[in-house]
Structure formats: structure tokens, C-alpha cells
């Protein structure tokens, strides 16, 4: 009974927010640095739901907890906007696919797949700035007002009941996370693009890198046999060739754009490079190999960790296993070995391919090279047994 009573009180509290704040139809001003909404407003209710979602994220088992990469991403946020730096909490989630999202209370979620796809710091900074713009411009509140005016009271009642805990998990949190009612409008997206570009220019980043983000994502989408790429950046951020061109043109008009040329590639590779091996492996597990091939080819154009990338290109061909893919895999693995950052498992992969092709001597040489580099590997005994049996 006590729990039920608490839930009833939550319903009453939430309806108070709806009634007291439901008439907020005036133009929405920017959120001021350090500002929190008045407890009696609709916006406070939205923040309350986002606070609950954030607590769940904090307990999530797939957070990237590596201190270095978290410090690095946070430093970019603070460089883009020192005024709002303290209000924004960034959570890097170990999840393939390109996506980022921002809740009204200052929680930013960045998927590792986004970090993998960015080619330099300027590209990553634009996406972070775009999401920060949603927070600063209070786009969730703007969207709520539109929903309130267009979907009627029954929809609001349904959301309120869910937020109270009756009838299952709050649909508000889910909708904010995946789009739906709380997806940002195209006007919101255009505004976030503009403010995000202004932020990166002010921070000294090359603004033309913003349009390249969309160029690469569009290439990924075209590589898919179907247009459905799940809960990706495209499902919550409308994308098109027109938007890519608009970003490029807009970048030329921002004051100071001609002097903003930094991409900070070296710092980016130093921060992200150590994680690419794991993140590429996660992408390959999805089995969307045509899309992943586009990702790897894009990274090869500008990256410095070429050994890792060529290794995973070999892995992609091996997994795809079409008529000519074994030859392509051998070529990619062999090229990976010409770079100092080639993973030791490149030798093992080559050894298994040569073994499958019946090229015993080459298989022995490759597997022996692997054991020399990884004498304490988990599969050491298995490979040593194979070598002994096939002498």
C-alpha cells in the first residue's frame, strides 16, 4: 500500500507539472549556464525523468570507463563551451553504430561506434557541439510544447501514468532516447547544426569537417541492402545529401571560419587509437559487413593506425567468405604486417587461412610467429598442439 500511495503521489505531482507548466507557449530562451528549471514547470518534470534515466545509465554494464578517453571527450566539450562544461555529463557507451543523444538535464550519451567513425577531433567536436546545442536551446521542452498542442490531453495522460511508474517503465524516457514524440524537429536539427558549427569555429576547428561526417554516414547507408540501420543517428537525426551540402555552405558563412583549420588528428588518434581494435571487433559482430567495409575504408583515408585497420579489413573478408574473399583477406593481413601497429593475431589469422588452403609451411611459419609474439596467449596450447601434430 505504501508503494501504491507513493505512485499515486507521483501521478499527482506530475499532473501538477502538466497543469502548472502546460501553458508554457512563449518562445523558449536559451538555458542559462548553471540554470535549473523551476520545480513547478513542465520542464522540471522532463528533467526529473531524465535524471531517472541517467541513474540507470550510471549502473549500465556497457559504459566505457577508461579514464583517458573520458577525459579526452570531456575536454572537447569544455573547449566548445566553457560556460556549460560543468552542466554536461558525458557517458560513452560501448555499443557499435553511430549515435549520440542529449537529454534536457545535461546527460549526453555517445556510442563507441561514433568514436570509431570520426576521423579526427574536429568531426567528433561537431557531433558533440550539435548535441550540446539541443541542451542549450532546450529543444526537448520545445518539442514537448508542440506535442502538447497537437496530440491532445489523452496522450499526455498516458505519458504521465508511465512516468509515475504505473503501467511499466516510463515511455517518456524511451521516447526521448529513441525518437518518437520527443525526436527533435527538423527546425531543431537545423538550429543545432548552426550552433554546433559556430561552436567548433570559435574553438578553432575546421568547419568543413562537419559535412564530411554526413558524407561518410550516407555512404554507409547506401552500402546497406536495406535502408533500415536500426536505432542509429539517422533514426533520430534526419539526414540527406541536401543536409550535407547545407552544412558545407553554412560553414563558409560563419565569422572566423577562414582562420579555423584545426583537426587535431594526432591528439585524436592518441586518444581513440588504443580502443579501435575492440570497437572494430564489435562492429564486425553485427554482421553488417558491407557497412563496416565503408567504415574501414573511410578510416584508411586519414588514420595513422593502419596495421589495425588492415587487419580488420582482412577479418571482414574472411567472415564474408565470397568467391574471392580469401585472396583479399590474405592481401589485407599481409599489408597489415607491414605496419608497426599490426596486432599479433594477424599472424594467427594468416596461419588459419593457409592451413585451410593446405599450405602447411606457410601456416606453420605464421602460427609460430604468432606464438613468438604471444607466448602466453589463451590459445597457445591449442596452436602448439596443431603444430606438433602436423609436422
pLDDT in tens, 242-284: 788 888 998 999 999 999 999 999 999 999 999 999 999 999 9
Encode pLDDT of 113-168 as tens digits.
Answer: 999 999 999 999 999 999 999 999 998 888 777 766 665 544 554 544 444 444 44
Nearest to 72 by CA among 295, 231, 217, 269: 269
Q: Which three cell numbers stand for residue 68?
A: 583517458
- What is the model's pTM? 0.82
On whether the CB atoms of residues 21 and 45 are closer than 8 A, the answer is: yes
**Which H helix or E strand runs over 331?**
helix 325-336
Nearest to 190 by CA among 107, 118, 249, 110: 249
Encode pLDDT of 17-55 as tens digits.
Answer: 444 444 444 578 999 999 999 998 888 888 998 999 999
The region of weakest confidence among 210-224, 284-298, 305-319 is 210-224
Residues sharing a CB contact under 8 Å with residue 107, sequence separation 6 or more, in sequence order: 50, 53, 54, 57, 89, 91
The CATH number fitting domain 274-389, selected from 3.30.70.2190, 1.10.150.120, 1.25.40.10, 1.10.1840.10: 1.25.40.10
- C-alpha to C-alpha distance for 2 and 8, rounded to whole angstroms: 10
Q: How far is CA 77 from the centre of its chain?
A: 15
Domain spans of the chain?
A: 2-251, 274-389
Residue 350's pLDDT is what? 96
**Which H helix or E strand runs over 101?**
strand 100-102
Partnered with residue 102 across adjacent β-strands are: 108
Alpha-helix residue ranges (DSSP H) falling in 81-183: 112-117, 121-136, 139-151, 153-164, 171-178
Q: Which three cell numbers stand for residue 156?
A: 499526455
- 3-state class (DSSP) for residue 89: strand
Percentage of residues in the chain having pLDDT higher than 70? 79
- C-alpha to C-alpha distance for 165 and 263, rounded to whole angstroms: 46
**Residue 315: DSSP 8-state:** H
On whether the CB atoms of residues 176 and 105 are closer than 8 A, the answer is: no
pLDDT band at 188 (very low <50, low <70, confident <90, very high): confident
- C-alpha to C-alpha distance for 223 and 297, rounded to whole angstroms: 12
How far the first Cα of the chain sits from its last, in Å, is 74
* Phi then psi dihedrals of residue 101, to 5 deg: -150, 160
Residue 373 predicted with pLDDT over 50: yes
Residue 82's pLDDT is what? 96
- C-alpha to C-alpha distance for 315 and 78, rounded to whole angstroms: 38
Q: In what order do the strands lie in the sheet with 89-93?
A: 89-93, 107-111, 100-102
Cα→Cα distances 275→83, 271, 351, Å: 30, 8, 25
Residue 170's pLDDT is what? 43
Encode pLDDT of 59-88 as tens digits.
Answer: 999 999 999 999 999 999 999 999 999 999
From the CB of residue 167, how many other CB atoms can be counted at a distance below 10 Å?
11
- C-alpha to C-alpha distance for 41 and 97, rounded to whole angstroms: 36
Residue 104's pLDDT is what? 93
Amino acid at each position: 500500500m505504501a508503494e501504491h500511495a507513493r505512485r499515486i503521489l507521483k501521478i499527482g505531482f506530475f499532473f501538477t507539472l502538466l497543469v502548472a507548466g502546460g501553458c508554457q507557449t512563449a518562445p523558449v530562451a536559451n538555458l542559462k549556464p548553471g540554470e535549473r528549471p523551476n520545480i513547478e514547470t513542465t520542464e522540471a518534470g522532463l528533467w526529473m525523468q531524465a535524471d531517472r534515466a541517467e541513474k540507470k545509465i550510471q549502473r549500465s554494464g556497457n559504459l566505457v570507463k577508461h579514464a583517458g578517453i573520458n577525459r579526452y571527450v570531456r575536454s572537447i566539450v569544455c573547449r566548445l563551451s566553457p560556460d556549460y562544461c560543468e552542466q554536461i555529463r558525458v557517458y560513452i557507451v560501448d555499443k557499435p553504430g553511430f549515435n549520440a543523444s542529449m537529454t534536457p538535464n545535461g546527460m549526453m550519451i555517445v556510442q563507441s561506434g561514433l568514436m570509431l567513425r570520426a576521423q579526427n577531433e574536429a568531426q567528433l567536436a561537431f557531433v558533440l557541439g550539435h548535441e550540446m546545442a539541443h541542451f542549450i536551446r532546450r529543444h526537448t521542452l520545445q518539442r514537448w510544447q508542440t506535442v502538447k498542442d497537437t496530440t491532445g490531453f489523452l496522450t499526455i495522460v498516458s505519458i504521465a501514468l508511465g512516468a509515475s511508474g504505473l503501467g511499466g517503465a516510463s515511455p517518456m524516457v524511451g521516447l526521448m532516447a529513441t525518437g518518437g514524440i520527443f525526436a527533435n524537429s527538423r527546425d531543431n536539427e537545423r538550429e543545432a547544426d548552426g550552433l554546433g558549427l559556430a561552436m567548433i569555429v570559435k574553438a578553432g576547428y575546421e568547419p568543413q569537417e562537419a559535412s564530411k561526417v554526413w558524407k561518410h554516414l550516407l555512404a554507409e547507408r547506401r552500402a546497406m541492402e536495406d535502408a533500415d540501420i536500426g536505432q542509429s543517428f539517422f533514426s533520430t537525426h534526419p539526414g540527406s545529401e541536401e543536409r550535407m551540402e547545407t552544412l558545407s555552405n553554412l560553414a563558409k558563412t560563419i565569422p572566423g571560419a577562414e582562420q579555423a583549420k584545426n583537426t587535431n588528428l594526432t591528439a585524436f588518434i592518441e586518444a581513440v587509437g588504443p580502443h579501435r581494435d575492440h570497437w572494430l571487433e564489435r562492429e564486425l559482430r553485427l554482421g553488417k559487413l558491407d557497412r563496416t567495409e565503408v567504415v574501414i575504408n573511410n578510416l584508411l583515408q586519414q588514420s595513422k593506425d593502419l596495421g589495425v585497420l588492415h587487419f580488420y579489413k582482412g577479418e571482414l573478408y574472411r567472415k564474408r567468405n565470397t568467391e574471392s574473399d580469401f585472396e583479399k583477406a590474405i592481401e589485407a593481413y599481409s599489408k597489415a604486417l607491414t605496419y608497426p601497429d599490426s596486432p599479433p593475431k594477424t599472424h594467427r589469422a594468416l596461419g588459419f587461412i593457409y592451413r585451410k588452403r593446405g599450405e602447411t609451411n606457410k601456416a606453420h611459419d605464421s602460427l609460430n610467429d604468432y606464438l613468438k609474439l604471444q607466448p602466453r596467449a589463451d590459445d597457445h596450447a591449442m596452436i602448439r598442439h596443431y603444430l606438433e601434430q602436423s609436422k
